[in-house]
Chains A and B, each alone.
Chain A
Amino acid sequence: MLSNLIIRYRLITDQLIRYSQFLFSSPTFAFVDMPTTTTTITTPKSSLPDMSILLTQKHRATIERRRIRRHSDLPMSLMIKYGTPRQDLHQCLECGTWHEKKTICGNCYDRIRKETQAMKDSYPNKDEFNHNHPQQEIVYVYKNDEKFHDDTKRIVEIQRERPTWFSKNLIPKINTTK
């Protein structure tokens, strides 16, 4: 560790001294008499040691270890790692697409996301929504719904018919939280 640092430091200093010989006659650094604007010392990138050496492996793995990685049934083996089928996938009951365990179905959620975005866009005054938010419950009324008047609620009308999958009763009867 320490020897590596010393070698790197020595390399850089050698390069600096070599380049300074073109500018100044003596190898010492003379910063006092240097002109301010015309010449500046810049070391090119090739003079620095290549840093990608640090990322490579230091020691060659033995043939025993390589064969274990290829052919054994331990979890470190590549065949076990990439060759076993996944057991944590579920099928959606609504549409039949596959999704991971713990997550919701992406195909069904796409539909809901588009509908929520359309409902947000149908709000008439966007400046009011973003800066002076209404202090009432917002109710979205579709075209084929029953119209009602309530002063305590903000009613927003949508010029479309209610989708068939979007039920009117938003409060669930059964506790369906996961």
Chain B
Amino acid sequence: MSNLSTRTLRVTVPHAIRSKITGGGQNARHEKIKAILGELFRHERIEGYIRTHDETRQYAERLIELAKKYGDQHVGTMQLMDYWVNDKDLIHKVFKVYVPRYTNTIGPYTNSYRLPIKYGEFKFPHIPRQNIVLEMKDNPYPRIIPDPRNYSNILTNVLLNEARKEYRTERNNRNEKKDK
């Protein structure tokens, strides 16, 4: 197990104290993470509390990174998979869907966005409850961040393009005169 090594994670590590994310000690924390991991691998887009879901994001990244590097014939990775994934049909999904999908991607394999806070709905009004969306990259669902816009037809951009063209033509003409 100690021989397993990957690159450093490319996600932000949360500042919250890990033992205080859930009550009930280490076992309860592990069970919570396993439940969210299974949900993430199955549905590919979930919502939830920022502390628990940002914590499980690191585990998902690490498992896919190991699966990419060592494959399904390795003993240590399969032990880790067996421990962290409760539903065993999802282990097949990791090796058959996620690994070929992310062969060429370097960076993080998940996205997380902060949802707007709904004031007045949570239990303690002085502690705002922040929820996030977690998703695997390149999923079939519609994108959360809207498509990049085409700003080339806005008036200022048109004028700037014309000015740039004029400047280049003048500079070229000047250079040609100097060469003669």
Please pick, from A104, A133, A167, A171, the residue contacting B114 in the complex, using a CB distance under 8 A.
A104
Interface check B30, CB cutoff 8 A = no
Q: CA of A131 to CA of B42 in the docked complex: distance in angstroms?
A: 10
- List of B residues within 8 angstroms of A121 by Cβ: none
Does B97 contact A136, Cβ atoms closer than 8 Å? yes
Does B89 contact A170, Cβ atoms closer than 8 Å? no
Please pick, from A103, A163, A170, the residue contacting B140 in the complex, using a CB distance under 8 A.
A170
Interface residues of A (CB under 8 A from B): 93-94, 99-100, 102-106, 108-109, 112, 115-116, 119-120, 129-133, 135-140, 163, 165-167, 170-174, 176-178
- List of B residues within 8 angstroms of A106 by Cβ: 115-116
- List of B residues within 8 angstroms of A137 by Cβ: 97, 101, 140
Q: Which residue of B lies closest to A140 (CB)?
A: B140
- List of B residues within 8 angstroms of A104 by Cβ: 113-116, 133, 144-145
- List of A residues within 8 angstroms of B87 by Cβ: 131, 133
- Report the count of interface residues on B (CB-CB < 8 A): 29
Does B117 contact A166, Cβ atoms closer than 8 Å? no
Q: CA of A102 to CA of B116 in the docked complex: distance in angstroms?
A: 9
Does A112 contact B144, Cβ atoms closer than 8 Å? yes
Q: In chain B, residues 8-43, which have Cβ atoms closer than 8 Å to a Cβ of chain A?
A: 42-43
Interface check B141, CB cutoff 8 A = yes
* Cβ contacts B118-161/A at 8 Å (1 or 0 each): 00000000000000010000101111111111000000000000
Q: CA of A122 to CA of B20 in the docked complex: distance in angstroms?
A: 39
Q: CA of A112 to CA of B116 in the docked complex: distance in angstroms?
A: 14
Query: A20: shortest Cβ distance to chain B, in Å?
Result: 40
Please pick, from B93, B101, B146, the residue contacting A94 in the complex, using a CB distance under 8 A.
B146
* CB within 8 Å for A174 and B140 given contacts A100-B117, A103-B114, A136-B96: no
Query: A102: shortest Cβ distance to chain B, in Å?
Result: 5
Q: Which residue of B lies closest to A162 (CB)?
A: B142
Does A109 contact B96, Cβ atoms closer than 8 Å? no
Interface check B45, CB cutoff 8 A = yes
Query: A128: shortest Cβ distance to chain B, in Å?
Result: 10
Inter-chain pairs besides A119-B140, A165-B146, A167-B143, 4 sampled, C-beta below 8 Å:
A102-B114, A109-B144, A120-B43, A172-B147
Does B116 contact A103, Cβ atoms closer than 8 Å? yes
Does B93 contact A133, Cβ atoms closer than 8 Å? yes
Please pick, from B140, B148, B149, the residue contacting A138 in the complex, using a CB distance under 8 A.
B140
Please pick, from A131, A135, A173, A177, the residue contacting B96 in the complex, using a CB distance under 8 A.
A135
Does A109 contact B115, Cβ atoms closer than 8 Å? yes
Query: B166: shortest Cβ distance to chain A, in Å?
Result: 28
Does A170 contact B144, Cβ atoms closer than 8 Å? no
Does B116 contact A116, Cβ atoms closer than 8 Å? no
Does B144 contact A176, Cβ atoms closer than 8 Å? no
Q: Return the 4 tightest CB-CB contacts between A and B, nearest first.
A: A106-B116, A135-B96, A103-B114, A116-B141
